[in-house]
Amino acid sequence: MSECEITNHERTERTIAADPGIGHDEAAWHRGWLKIAIALVLAGQGMAFGLAANMSPPTGAAYWVLHGGLAASALAVLVLLGGPLLRESAQTLRAGRLTVDLLFLVTLSGALGVSVFSTVRGAGPVFYELAAILLAIYTTGKLLGARSRAKALQAVDELRAEHDTCVLVEADGSQRTVRSADVEQGQRILVSAGGSIGVDGIVRHGRSWVDTTPLTGEPHPIEAGPGAEVAAGMRAIDGVLTVEATVAGTKRRLDRMLAEIEQAGLRPSRIQAMADRLAGRFVPLVVATAVGTIWYWGVRGGLVPAVENGLAVLVVACPCALGLATPLGVWAGLVALGRIGIVARSGDFLEALAQVNSAVFDKTGTLFEPGARAASLRVVPQGAFSAGRMRAALALAEGGVEHPIARAVVDACASSDETEDGDGGGLELVEARVVSGRGIRARLLDASPGEAPKERDMLVGSARWLEELGIDFGAFEEPTRPASGHVLRIAIDGIAAGELVLDEAPRTRVQEVFAQLQKLGVRAEISTGDPRFPAEVWSDVPRAVGVAPEDKAERVREIRATGARVLFVGDGVNDAPALACADASIALRSGAGLARSNAMAVVAGAGLGGIPEAIRRSRRVMRAIRSNLAFAAVYNTVAMMLAAAGLINPILAALLMAGSSVIVSTRVLRA
């Protein structure tokens, strides 16, 4: 088992241990929500009957039937949902930590204690329904968190499995399928056309166009022949390659990238950590106040006032802002972000986005539209075709094959504004085939009006290929082309005929996004694996080109080390490590599955214009949440002191608890 596999196994075990039976498969996901629904139904029934029991207590057999039914419903919810809360609380106590889990347990115990005491005593209020409400709130948070972690793990596992095996070529020429982790340095593997490359190595035989986007961000495939360096995670598009491993199969760049993603996923929830810090201070205060109250009133007034006042302290100390108003505010904020096209995976995104003061953007597929466009087509003056006729010929030749570059050429030609009357007339495709790692060879029948039909041989491919065939492109020695363009050269009947540059189109409103981020105090920069970047585009924004995936993540860590909070925006597999280790992260809906699963939010539309507004709204929501936490702390502390002084009985404590819930909920929904 490789190092990254051990990491993944350990992380899976830790996730399951933290959230047993929740979020790891569809059946468990649905069971979790079913349990919550049952708890809420019982809570609703309990509130109705509990109100009746408190306002107009029955007598005789009716008393025991009513109280017994309320106690049974609370016990049912405790059995249904209480396991994880009890386990988490026990673990945190053994670790010497005080968290929100323990605060929930203390309040839950207080409510049940008051209720049981009142039932046995035959007088006093009951709060059995509070157990169901608290456990439903607690379980909802656990369910959503576990689901998020499980989704990220699944995406990592799927990508690893995609490149987990390869065909090993033995010294005697025989072949066998092995796990990539078992390949040793110096051994050779065979990569079929369309197959994934399972090791980091050097091409020894064969030639192919290779999709390097997952590891480099390069938007266009590269030509790979003998001597070319390739890496696990890349894919041969149209040719067969023999690759010699330069490192052992357990030391691939892909594995390091996935391990980094997994480790980043172990970081605790930000909002949970904030609540835990408050709980760490509040729990000792609640417990000490309750114990002190019981002792004081036990000495002064006896058991009954001691228990009533002590449990009133626990009831009024219910963590409403943590358990109700905070998630309510978070979900209200998430809905608001959804309206502007930013779909967040969890409430952590709000807190993280509210604090960002630095943003790093990927280029390919993020700041630029995915896919290619025809940036320029130059035709040799003495060539047989005009520019418009050349586009028609290109569309015919490339449209006859299945190849990423061919599809880009067809789309680029189809979207061109350059048209001429009769440009495509008389042209007919006879045959087209891919020359592995080189380009396209096509035969076209040219039956131009007024001329005898003639078959033409058309070549479209890399400059190196056409030069090897002896075709002179002297007219294109110093072409003017965009810095990020991908150049295809064209020959007809063995004569240089043209040059097509495929380029990326910048997304609309990007400059406006950068300007708004600056007004918000957020410093923006660009980090791309593409070795080229047009200097004239967003020239005032710092950028780094040719950046490896691990270097993107390292840049994010460098910025964070200065104390800044970093937002990373990307779309590719190569962006996943940076997305995972940034404070806040956004992927594009059109991006890779691994990028989307490791980002905290996804842009639902095609543009980035909603990001600045998302930051503004997140800041407003988090200000309201923090204000509510401070308000609740003061409110509950004062109420606890009044309860400890015997000025608040359990009924009034419940009313105050409900009142604080209403107040903080109203305040956060108005944010």
- Decide if 293 is inside a domain: no
What range does the domain containing 565 cover?
342-369+507-604
Report the CATH number that the domain containing residue 398 is assigned in CATH.
3.40.1110.10
pLDDT of 271 reads 63
| Measured distance CA(314)–CA(653) in Å, rounded | 9
Residues 591 and 482 in one domain: no
Q: Any idea what the CATH number is for the domain that residue 358 is in?
A: 3.40.50.1000
Decide if pLDDT at 645 tops 80.
yes
Confidence of residue 213 (pLDDT cuts 50, 70, 90): low
The identity of residue 639, as a single letter, is A
Band of residue 178 on the pLDDT scale cut at 50, 70, 90: very high
d(C-alpha 290, C-alpha 296), whole Å = 10
Residue 381: pLDDT over 70: no
Q: Helices 326-339 and 348-355, interaxial angle, to 10°?
A: 70
Using the predicted structure, report yes or no on whether residue 489 has a pLDDT greater than 70.
yes
Mean local confidence (pLDDT), 213-227: 71
Residue 170: give its domain's CATH number: 2.70.150.10
pLDDT for 216 equals 59
Asked whether residue 194 is assigned to any structural domain, the reply reads yes
Q: What's the confidence (pLDDT) of residue 209?
A: 83
Span 448-464, average pLDDT: 81
Residues 591 and 445 in one domain: no
Q: What is the mean pLDDT of residues 1-8?
A: 37
Is residue 223 pLDDT above 70, yes or no? yes
Axis-axis angle for helices 61-94, 128-162 (nearest 10): 40
Task: Assess if residue 122 is contained within a domain.
Answer: no
Of the ranges 246-255, 409-418, 634-643, which one carries the lowest mean pLDDT score?
409-418
Question: Does 517 share its domain with 494?
Answer: no
pLDDT band at 450 (very low <50, low <70, confident <90, very high): low
Answer yes or no: is pLDDT of 662 > 80. Answer: no
Higher pLDDT, 319 or 612: 612
Same domain assignment for residues 496 and 424: yes
**Once rounded to an integer, what is the mean pLDDT over residues 352-359?**
92
Residue 566 has a pLDDT of 94
How many residues does the structure list for the chain? Answer: 671
State the pLDDT at residue 155: 65
pLDDT at site 403: 66
User: Concatenated DSSP letters for 54-87?
Assistant: HHS---THHHHHHHHHHHHHHHHHHHHHHHHHHH
Q: Is residue 613 part of a domain?
A: no
- Which pLDDT score, from 0 to 100, does residue 373 have? 62
State mean pLDDT over 93-113.
Answer: 77
pLDDT beyond 80 at 432: yes
Tokens (6 digits) for 21? 């039976």
Residues 496, 377: one domain? yes
How many other CB atoms are there within 10 angstroms of residue 555's CB atom?
18
Q: Which amino acid is at 44?
A: G
Average pLDDT over residues 542-567: 88
Residue type, 22: I
Average model confidence (pLDDT) across the chain? 77
Q: What is the pLDDT of residue 21?
A: 41
Whether 143 has a pLDDT exceeding 80, the answer reads no
- Is a pLDDT exceeding 90 seen at residue 152? no
**Structural domain includes residue 141:** no
pLDDT of residue 663 exceeding 70, the answer is yes
Looking at the chain, the whole-number percentage of residues with pLDDT higher than 70 is: 77
Reported as a pLDDT band with limits 50, 70 and 90, residue 438 is confident
| Confidence check: pLDDT of 658 > 80 | no
Q: Is position 28 within any domain?
A: no
257 and 171 inside one domain: yes
Which of 485, 503, 521 marks a domain boundary?
503
pLDDT for 475 equals: 67
Region 650-654 average pLDDT: 69
**Residues 446 and 557 placed together within one structural domain of the fold:** no
Coil, strand or helix at 123: coil
| Residues 605, 341 contacting (CB under 8 angstroms) | yes
Please check whether residues 511 and 448 belong to one and the same domain.
Answer: no
When pLDDT is averaged across residues 196-223 and rounded to a whole number, the result is: 79
- Residue of 373, 381, 367, 347 whose CA lies nearest to 497: 381
Last residue of a domain, one of 604, 627, 656: 604
| 192 has a pLDDT exceeding 80 | yes
pLDDT, residue 477, reads 58
**Six-digit token string for 152:** 């990220």
- Return d(Cα 216, Cα 455) in angstroms, integer: 41
Is the same domain home to 483 and 377?
yes
Residue 226 DSSP label: T
Range name among 285-289, 326-330, 346-350, 515-519 with the lowest pLDDT average: 326-330
Judge whether 223 lies within some domain: yes
User: Are 484 and 553 found together in one domain?
Assistant: no
Of 69-78, 460-469, 527-536, 623-632, which gets the smallest average pLDDT? 527-536
Q: Is the pLDDT at 5 greater than 50, yes or no? A: no
Going by pLDDT thresholds of 50, 70 and 90, the confidence category of residue 11 is very low
Q: Are residues 491 and 384 in the same domain?
A: yes
Query: Which tens digits make up the pLDDT trace of 567-624?
Result: 999 887 778 888 888 999 998 877 777 777 778 888 866 568 888 988 998 898 888 8
- Where helices occur in 163-248 by DSSP H, the ranges are 213-216
Residue 363: which of 559, 613, 582, 591 has the closest Cα? Answer: 591
Residue 559's pLDDT band (cuts 50, 70, 90): very high
Mean pLDDT of 18-30: 56
User: Pick from 263, 286, 319: which residue ends a domain?
Assistant: 263
> Does 279 have pLDDT greater than 90?
no
Sign of the Cα torsion 253, 255, 256, 260 reads: positive
* Weakest mean pLDDT among 31-45, 113-127, 221-235, 530-544: 530-544
519 and 587 in a single domain? The answer is: yes
Neighbours of 524 (CB within 10 A): 22
Q: What is the pLDDT of residue 421?
A: 41
pTM score over 0.75: no
Three-state secondary structure call for residue 211: strand
The number of distinct structural domains making up the chain is 3
Q: Look up residue 661 and give its amino acid.
A: S
Query: Considering the domain boundaries, does residue 574 fall inside one?
Result: yes
**CA–CA separation, 310 vs 296, rounded Å?**
10
The C-alpha atoms of residue 449 and residue 248 are separated, in whole angstroms, by 62
